[in-house]
Structure 1
Amino acid sequence: MPQLSDRTTTFTDSVIRRMTRISNQYNAVNLSQGFPDFEPPQQILNRLAEVTKEDFHQYSTTWGSQNFRDALARKIKHFSGIDVNPNEELVVTCGSTEAMMAAMMSVTNPGDKVIVFSPFYENYGADTILSGAEPVYVPLIPPEFNFDVDVLENAFKQHPKAIIVCNPSNPCGKVFTRKELEIIADFAKKYDSFVITDEVYEHILYKPNVHTYMASLPGMKERTITCNSLSKTYSITGWRLGYTHANPEITDRIKKVHDFLTVGAAHPLQEAAVTGLQFGDEYYTELQEKYTHKRNLFLEGLDSIGLKHTVPQGAYYVLIDISEFGYESDLEFAEILARDVGVGSVPGSSFFKEPENRYIRLHFAKKDETLYEALNRLESIRSKIRKG
């Protein structure tokens, strides 16, 4: 038999999705894979029911239906202040996962370097390798997950083609300040790099933190590729509706890559999701209030149990420090936690380039009763998990 691809030799399956399977195996409360257990907004579901009886069952325009792109352009303008040409600057993708892959393949050549902050969402390293590029990791330093400016510039001195910025960040919940983003932007301009942003948690923030759009900074619209998704904002992770926003030259290339990757996102779901894109400001205010409540509920519960944890500024993840249990492998600990305590988590090492085994990631995008059940189970953690 001929050999398989060298570039995928080091790949494993997604640890996040694996932990969902392990959670299901042990009937654990699944706080590993980041999807809600509550319904999307009823208005979107009502529109979906209507769409099934209308003529949206064939391909839309490859880069997204006109209705969807028009509504999306208006929403981006409303929140970022950026004027968007829906026909020349947007590509609708099959989730932000495809958006990131299409962006990477559109701007990098084999051998190019791409800066990735660590910890990082697990797809970024894989996307870089699949594109034939080389990741250059820059650590975000716990517990605030700030970066060292000198270390970052040293990475830029390697003349990377791009830097990936997840803001708010999965898994650590960091919200980059405007000053931090300006530092990144200045380096990108100085060393002539693209900035690829992942902004899927743009509306899930905790006061006083504010989301700043990288593309809105002076001189950055032309070199920023924004990857985003409707999954988290409207609780429709299974719909796989994402998009890229970039200047026309970049977007023209992304359109071609996207066409050969997936042809197009699901037409009926795009039409139904237009309803969400037209929501008023009150929806996003209520969304922030909902997740602030869930964060407070969950963190207070962890505090009462005595588990050390990070405090997310945005997104809906928290890193639990498991150092007290003495396990060399956080993966082993996560599997035991699912089996013996009944709570599913993700081992933190899957997010760090550094040899980091002291964290597991939990998420709180769940109904209150689900979070209470998880906390009730975690109360027995020290009696059910022996020291490693």
Structure 2
Amino acid sequence: MNPIYEQMKVSVFERMSGLAAKHGAVNLGQGFPDFGWPPEILDAAARAVVEGSNQYAPSRGLPALRDAVAAHYGRHQGLNLHADHVCVTSGATEALGAAILAVVEPGNEVILLTPAYDSYAPMVRRAGGVPREVALKPPEWRIERASIEAAIGPKTRAIIFNNPHNPAARLFDADELAVIAGLAQAHDLIVISDEVWEHVLLDEQTFVPLASLPGMAERTIKIGSAGKIFSLTGWKVGWMVAAPELAAVAARAHQFLTFSTAPISRPRWPTA
């Protein structure tokens, strides 16, 4: 048996959700929103099951859906994207796995900012890489350039960056984003930017995607989630967004994980 999985504990999210159900407790362990979903999306999905195709979608996603994702980020974040930047995946966790498998070679080191989503380190190890953890320290949970730079070495290949951050609930500021961008460019690193909570913000905060910073579009793989945006986590629809050359490589990793995502996931989403 593969020792990575033989020695691995069941996900903390699975454990906490099971305990919450068993004891009738409020579940603060797993990231599914509880504020409902837009009914028009459910109506569109119901029609798609009856009226649309129920066979495999193209591996990278329906062209109309990829166009819709690109247009969504154009409206909300000012990113200049088109369908070739987008690969639809079966949830953001699969997107993270595909991105890591596409970027990391055996022996590469990958910087993880901890505490971190628990899929990062196992997937880095599965790709043959070595996680290098850099702790964000309470109570501020700020990104400090010196601590990250100290962890970077000749084998470092990538940084996995999560913003807004789960579980610290930080939205990193412009100075902190500049640290990640500056180090990535100085050391020729890819950044896998887990941005699934990008639309769940407090106090009228403004989210800035890492790829929008100068010099970062060509070295960032943005991870997004329809489940988080629309409170439809059970649908398991996510995506990777990257420069077309980088997106194409990540899509080749995706094609041998799930190949494609359910075709009922049509782009009839609210435009607000």
Query: Shorter-chain TM-score category?
Result: over 0.9
Provide Cα deviations, 1:13-40, integer angstroms capped at 9, x if missing partner. 1011111112222232333222234531
Mapping of residues 208-219 of structure 1, within 5 Å: 209-219=205-215
Distance 1:194-1:259 versus aligned 2 partners, 3 A rule: same
CA distance in 2, matches of 1:164, 1:126: 13
**Residue 275 of structure 1 pairs with residue 268 of structure 2:** yes
CA-CA distance at 1:258 after TM superposition: 0.8
CA-CA distance at 1:257 after TM superposition: 1.1
Determine which of 97, 113, 117 is the counterpart of 2:93: 97
Bigger drift between 165-174 and 22-31 goes to: 22-31
CA distance in 1, matches of 2:186, 2:167: 29
Mapping of residues 221-300 of structure 1, within 5 Å: 221-268=217-264, 270-271=265-266, 274-276=267-269, 278-280=270-272
Give the conservation status (yes or no) of the 8 Å contact 1:165–1:197: yes
Q: Which residue of 2 aligns with 1:136?
A: 132
Secondary structure of 2:159 counterpart: strand
TM-score (normalizing by structure 1): 0.68
Percent identity between the two aligned chains: 36
**Residue 81 of structure 1 pairs with residue 78 of structure 2:** yes
Give the conservation status (yes or no) of the 8 Å contact 2:90–2:238: yes
CA-CA distance at 1:49 after TM superposition: 2.0
CA distance in 2, matches of 1:210, 1:160: 31
AA aligned to 2:111 is I
Mapping of residues 363-374 of structure 1, within 5 Å: none
Distance 1:175-1:158 versus aligned 2 partners, 3 A rule: farther
CA-CA distance at 1:243 after TM superposition: 0.3
What value does the CA root-mean-square deviation take over the aligned residues?
1.4
Secondary structure of 1:201 counterpart: coil
AA aligned to 1:222 is E
Secondary structure of 1:32 counterpart: coil
CA distance in 2, matches of 1:169, 1:275: 28
Give the conservation status (yes or no) of the 8 Å contact 1:159–1:193: no
Q: Which residue of 2 aligns with 1:57?
A: 54
Determine which of 63, 66, 80 is the counterpart of 1:66: 63
Give the conservation status (yes or no) of the 8 Å contact 1:23–1:30: yes
**Residue 24 of structure 1 pairs with residue 17 of structure 2:** no
CA distance in 1, matches of 2:143, 2:176: 9
Give the conservation status (yes or no) of the 8 Å contact 1:19–1:32: yes
CA distance in 2, matches of 1:82, 1:260: 29
Secondary structure of 2:229 counterpart: coil
**Residue 5 of structure 1 pairs with residue 2 of structure 2:** yes
AA aligned to 1:41 is P
Q: Which residue of 2 aligns with 1:36?
A: 33
Bigger drift between 120-129 and 186-195 goes to: 120-129
Determine which of 114, 121, 144 is the counterpart of 1:118: 114
Bigger drift between 27-36 and 213-222 goes to: 27-36
Secondary structure of 1:165 counterpart: strand
Secondary structure of 2:147 counterpart: helix
Q: Which residue of 2 aligns with 1:155?
A: 151
CA-CA distance at 1:62 after TM superposition: 0.9
Distance 1:209-1:263 versus aligned 2 partners, 3 A rule: same
Mapping of residues 138-217 of structure 1, within 5 Å: 138-207=134-203, 209-217=205-213
CA distance in 2, matches of 1:178, 1:120: 21
CA-CA distance at 1:167 after TM superposition: 0.3
TM-score (normalizing by structure 2): 0.96
CA distance in 1, matches of 2:28, 2:160: 26
Looking at CA atoms only, which structure, 1 or 2, has the larger radius of gyration?
1
AA aligned to 2:251 is K
Provide Cα deviations, 1:298-338, integer angstroms capped at 9, x if missing partner. xxxxxxxxxxxxxxxxxxxxxxxxxxxxxxxxxxxxxxxxx
AA aligned to 2:271 is F
CA-CA distance at 1:85 after TM superposition: 2.3
Secondary structure of 1:52 counterpart: helix
Give the conservation status (yes or no) of the 8 Å contact 2:111–2:160: yes
Query: Structure 2: which 5+ residue stretches go unaligned?
Result: none
Secondary structure of 1:101 counterpart: helix
Q: Which residue of 2 aligns with 1:288?
A: none
